Chains A and B, each alone.
Chain A
Amino acid sequence: MNAPLTPSRDKCVVTLDRSSAERVVHYGEGFLRERFPEGTRVIYPPPPLEALPDVKQAVRHALARPEGCDPLFALLKPGMKVTIGIDDISLPLPMMRTPDVRQEVLEVVVDLLHDYGVDDITIIVALSLHRRMTDAEIRRMVGPRIWREFAPDRLFNHDAEDRENMIHVGTTEADEKVVLSRWAVEADLCLYVNVNLVPMDGGHKSVGVGFCGYETLQAHHDPETIAKSKSFMDPAASELSRRIDRIGEIVQEHVNIFTIETTLNNRMYGKQLGFLAKNEDTWTGTDELAFKSLKWTLDKLPPKAKRAFLHKVPAEYGVTGVVAGRTEPVHEKTLEACWRQYCVPVQGQADILVSGIPYLCPYNANSIMNPLLVHCTALGYFYNMYRGKPLLRNGGVMIICHPLRDEWHPDHHPSYIEFFHRLLPETRDSHKLQRKYEKIFAEDPAYVQMYRYGNAYHGVHPFYMWYWGESGRLNTGKVICVGATNQRVAEILGWDTAVTIDEAIGKARSFLADPDASITLLHHPPILMTDVT
């Protein structure tokens, strides 16, 4: 069941003139307000799709009329063993207000399973090599009812390093080993509850990545795959998707999967912060006052307090679609809903792309946006937010805004610190890093211990964050960080710095040897993707 209306894109692309207002740009846990040169093109996210009025009803409808298979109730037999995989805290961003969509889906699904005599149910947070979620985080995500019934023995985090419970199920034609969680493989039915925030999510990635371990991730989380993915947000042109799909075929041979995918609209801000998604030329006096108050407050607070505040503000996302059934047909529909929400048609590439970097990315929920994550967000995610042609032309300059503090969460990102301060100063070459150091970090006993029993990202995760930017690094002539407070951090990343947007634009035009180089400002988040013609 999908909301049918596609919002108008008329006002998504704005060209600034002399009378245009200053634009607001994300700057870590704060904001910059800058005047851009005349002729700058600003791209805004499309307005939010209409949310479904009754999510549980939509879930019931999807389960009863699935894509490519019998209704869920027809697949159930009393006494069968069911494993339910759910996406982790990296989705959605920011966390959505409660009830989380996973809670609503789980409550419907668990009731249905019980009705048909299925009580051997295990729910697993399919986090792959991400950090383990805390009990409080899981409880918030699944809701108190599911938590009370299943935690902790039948609701827990996936552990890719639990060698006794990881099973090698097969090898692809390209010699990719497929190793999955025993709970997924040995279940009579594996249900997966997904939150498809961006087109990269979902599909075969849900089970094939969420339940896998390092050996399987190696097959596609590597510099070569990322460099060939143009972009990894466009599955049709993504080598990453191709490889994951190849693994997915093996997974499907061994796991009986029933997928439930959900899509959200992009209503990231509630009424109070809604002005942040608006064209600044249309701001009212109230918007102006609200922004000034917010900026004043955030500027006065220390970074830690700002983070604590911002991570507590949930998004007002509405559910726009629920599709269930076999993985491929379900995901096709999900992707359509994603394009409908995020895509903005844009004419022509940009010479200079400007983007603010917010306080949050998929890997720092309730944590710190460290320099490696800033890099991943800029050159990994934001550079790749296109379908077809990249928004930034080959060799163009990317200007980002972030304080770039040398600040790390020691319990969430321990291996990032060593990667950044020990390996990157030696080389920024992804292939060399992969060859020389990836295995050492992946198998490091201390990092494995912190991943398994603490709340740390796996030891190999910082490598992926670096590979994620491979395409962006290869195709971007230069990156300039505006407002960087730590020069050394920028040097390690290989970036130039500037104090103001004006200075950055000057440096970019000088680098391109073109005083008229075109400028495009990506006014996000909320998420948007470009269709460049």
Chain B
Amino acid sequence: MARKTAAFYDLDGTILHGSVVDHYLYFAKTDPSLPGRVRRLAETLVKAPYYKYIDYLDRLQFNHEFYASYAGLSEDRLAILGEALFEKVLRKKIYGGMLELLKRDRQAGHHQVLLTGALDFVAQPVARYLGIKKVVANRLEYEVNGLCTGVLRPPVMAGPEKANWMREYAHEHGYDLRWSVAYADDAADLPMLSMVGRPVAVNPDARLLATARSHGWPVIHIEVSKSWTRDAAREAIELGKEGARRVREETQRRGPVVARRTLGLLGDVASGVRTWARGNE
């Protein structure tokens, strides 16, 4: 009987450039209320070093703490924005080399599984685009009114939990993990990589690189696709030009109003920071 094998892929940093923080920034940036938008962006900015630190220590704790930021966002909106996030941002960030690799994995007969700590509404469109049928991602909890509580529903896909899930899934479906393959970029995914006989480090961080070297695992360096950087630069320039044009026009037409709006915006920022400070207290 032919051996059944699977290929497990981490998402952020492995299949595409970026991290779960980038996804949240997109949702924050598109918050309908200006104060809410500013508060969420400012909060993320201020907490960034802390997030970096706890992610280094414990991916599970990071997930719990970071996903609390989603509190108050509505389920419907997130589902719709998940699609928009993919179309507008993530699609361009997929590594070109990974597309080829995924195709070859499919040809090699591996059953493909996207196993990620990102949220389900973010991972689903990516998986659909890549032709990966099985997606396992983190899920948020919602209140009856459809607003997110900021709590993750178990099992929380991070570190050892990914490995547990792989073991059970392989057992249930008869996949031979000794000849299965897993791809990840971060030392937090070492348990996931250690579950299979053929782990691969993709653009690894220093800790994963050291482990991969000492175990003789293949290390793939996939550069951020040139088209993505070019597109991003072009987009940034266009946005800048558009913004400058609008400000110029607005200033010419209603100078004092612009000044008032600018002051109002600064007030909103201050209020957002105050809200965040109170919340932390």
Contact = CB atoms under 8 A, between A and B. Distances in A.
A78 interface: no
Contact of B101 (A411, A421, A422, A445): A445
B218 A443 contact: no
A417 interface: yes
Nearest to B199: A446
Contacts of B108: 440, 443-445
Interface string A439-471: 010011111111001100000000000000000
Interface string B178-200: 01010100000000000001101
A410 interface: yes
A418 interface: yes
Given A449-B104, A453-B220, A453-B222, 7 more contacts: A408-B216, A421-B216, A440-B108, A440-B179, A443-B107, A448-B101, A448-B104
A414 B218 contact: yes
Contacts of B213: 410
26 contacts: A410-B213, A411-B219, A414-B218, A414-B219, A418-B216, A440-B108, A443-B107, A443-B108, A444-B108, A445-B100, A445-B101, A445-B104, A445-B105, A445-B181, A446-B218, A446-B220, A448-B104, A449-B97, A449-B100, A449-B101, A449-B104, A449-B222, A450-B219, A453-B220, A454-B220, A454-B221
Contacts of A415: 218
A446 B97 contact: no
Contacts of B107: 443
Nearest to B110: A445
A446 B101 CA distance: 7
Interface of B: 97, 100-101, 104-105, 107-108, 179, 181, 183, 197-198, 200, 212-213, 216, 218-222
B219 A444 contact: no
B91 to A, nearest CB: 21
A39 B233 CA distance: 76
Interface in A477-491: none
Nearest to B179: A440
B179 A443 contact: no
Q: How large is the interface on A (under 10, 10 to 19, 20 to 34, 35 or more residues)?
A: 20 to 34
B216 A446 contact: no
Query: From DSSP, what is the main secondary structure of chain B's interface residues?
Result: mixed
Contact of B104 (A422, A443, A454): A443
Given A410-B213, A410-B216, A421-B216, A446 B198 contact: yes
A410 to B, nearest CB: 6
A416 to B, nearest CB: 9
A445 B103 CA distance: 9
Which of B100, B218, B220: most chain A Cβ within 10 A?
B218
A422 B179 CA distance: 11
Closest 7 CB pairs of A and B: A417-B216, A445-B104, A446-B200, A414-B218, A446-B218, A445-B101, A445-B105
Interface in A396-422: 408, 410-411, 414-415, 417-418, 421-422
B74 to A, nearest CB: 40
A418 B100 CA distance: 22
B216 A450 contact: no
B15 to A, nearest CB: 13
A422 B105 CA distance: 21
B114 to A, nearest CB: 16
Nearest to B7: A445
Nearest to A421: B216
Contacts of B220: 446, 449-450, 453-454
Interface of A: 408, 410-411, 414-415, 417-418, 421-422, 440, 443-450, 453-454
B275 to A, nearest CB: 47
A447 B181 CA distance: 12
Given A410-B213, A418-B216, A454-B221, A446 B181 contact: yes
A408 B198 CA distance: 17
A410 B219 contact: yes
Contacts of B100: 445, 449
Contacts of B179: 440
A411 B82 CA distance: 37
A33 B200 CA distance: 43
A418 to B, nearest CB: 7
Given A440-B179, A453-B97, A447 B218 contact: yes
Contacts of B197: 422
A433 to B, nearest CB: 15
Contact of B218 (A422, A440, A450, A453): A450
Contacts of B219: 410-411, 414, 450
B263 to A, nearest CB: 53
Nearest to B98: A449
Contacts of A447: 218
A444 B198 contact: yes
B135 to A, nearest CB: 20
B203 to A, nearest CB: 12
Contacts of B216: 408, 410, 414, 417-418, 421
A10 to B, nearest CB: 49
Contacts of B181: 445-446
Nearest to A422: B197
A453 B100 CA distance: 12
Nearest to A406: B216
Contacts of A450: 218-220
Contacts of A444: 108, 198
A152 to B, nearest CB: 14
Contacts of A440: 108, 179
Nearest to B214: A410
Nearest to A445: B104
Nearest to B106: A445
Nearest to A416: B216
A414 to B, nearest CB: 5
Which of A410, A421, A448: most chain B Cβ within 10 A?
A410
Contacts of A443: 104, 107-108
A386 to B, nearest CB: 35
A280 to B, nearest CB: 40
B38 to A, nearest CB: 42
Contacts of B183: 446
B217 to A, nearest CB: 8
B252 to A, nearest CB: 49
A373 to B, nearest CB: 15
Nearest to B100: A449
A421 B219 CA distance: 17
A448 B181 CA distance: 14
B171 to A, nearest CB: 22
A335 to B, nearest CB: 39
A450 B221 CA distance: 8
B60 to A, nearest CB: 27
B7 to A, nearest CB: 8
B69 to A, nearest CB: 35
A447 B107 CA distance: 14
Contacts of A449: 97, 100-101, 104, 220, 222
A497 B220 CA distance: 36
Contacts of B105: 445
Which of A411, A447, A449: most chain B Cβ within 10 A?
A449
Contacts of A410: 212-213, 216, 219
A454 B97 CA distance: 12
Contacts of B218: 414-415, 446-447, 450
